[in-house]
Structure 1
């Protein structure tokens, strides 16, 4: 790694202390360095189109934190820009590359467990209200959505990788009384997985800050 770029002095100091690599707030200088071949973009989704376009225009390959953009047109814009420039641009969902997931994938591919007959997934995420009190968190304008797009998407990608793809047939999302936020913090869905249309359920994809103290009356 050659550079880390952030506008926040506090984050620059923390990064330098942790990784012993100089951080800067000068993106223009970094993109002008011919020694830089590729950039990992880890900013909020609403900035991906603009910053991603600048990175590609500077002739750098681009790896983008999910989601690649707020809307599909943002993703197409970056893909078209990369293709026209002969560059690589991609978003990454890294959880499918964890050693535990790779081990399960190997077992499934061996055929030892037999044919898949059903899929069930429950995802409890622990997010206190303080997480959403940060400006822009959990809004459509900055993040593009809530728990589904910003957290649970990782687990759904793992299911797709292990089970051969997925097709959602019905879904429901809400913003519960447990959070003050614009986007959803609870989602459930019915789906089919793989070419054999195996039935599945992604139930109560929840994001609750005080799970242990929750009472249901």
Structure 2
């Protein structure tokens, strides 16, 4: 069986249906190794296309394309700054069917039916009611994680933390040099960031979420 054909079966094997909105969080290392003889470099693009075709044009596919390592005062070009969330994100940001949302710390590569709605979002906060995470809730997205543990696949949890104003987080302001070469400006952003000494262990919530 060809790599493209094998990957095309994944959405159905996972149990997804046509029209279903999906956030796709994948470490492609093991997949690329498995299909190395057919060309490992092709695997991320083939996986993206497999989900887009199987779910249909009315569905929306998101891939986390984060740069949450950015510091106050640093430069961010949405067209040139590569995401730190892996190969799938890097390929998605260059894929002709995807566009990259606006927030410098927590952007997404987005394709499909709600692409225009995601691209219109431009809030200063990563996780606010006007963020992609809120739209994910409105559109009933399903998180599909492949070869990623729960802590790294479920960033949506931080949206809930901001809405609930949890006491172990606090506001952090950023001024980012935002834009392309010759057309950039200093823009304010903010993050409801963890206080020093705290860490999330989302895997402890997995049994509760699976039972919900």
TM score, norm. by length of structure 1: 0.31
Q: Which has the larger radius of gyration?
A: 1
TM-score, with structure 2 as normaliser:
0.31
